[in-house]
Amino acid sequence: MANTKSAIKALRSSAKKNEVNSSRKNRIRSFIKKVDEAISASDEVKAKEALKALQPEFMRGVSKDIIKLNTASRKLSRLSTAISKISKKSA
């Protein structure tokens, strides 16, 4: 247990930040799931819409230091590549 007042306060604020950050991560994960479901259903329109909704969520996570920029860029790139493969198959 924390000994000083400042350590006790730091523990409280750390717990609050942990709760907020984990909810943000879960929100991002749910957006990724929507894109993945649309890709697996080969629904190009829904996948593009979901990806468009996912991008600002990712960047918000980057700005809040939830995820790293390169991680977000890599995941967005892979999802957009998967969507483009769907459009090539349907064309």
Q: Is the pLDDT of residue 26 over 80?
A: yes
Collapse the DSSP code of 64 into the 3-class scheme (helix H, G, I; strand E, B; otherwise coil) and give the result.
coil
The pLDDT of residue 91 is 67
Residue with tokens 């080969």: 42
Residue 89 — pLDDT band, cuts 50, 70, 90?
A: confident
- How many whole angstroms separate alpha carbon 32 and alpha carbon 30? 5
Q: Is the pLDDT of residue 2 over 90?
A: no
Average model confidence (pLDDT) for the chain?
A: 94
CA distances from 73 to 16, 28, 42, 67, 69 (A): 28, 13, 23, 10, 6
**Side chain identity, residue 46:** K
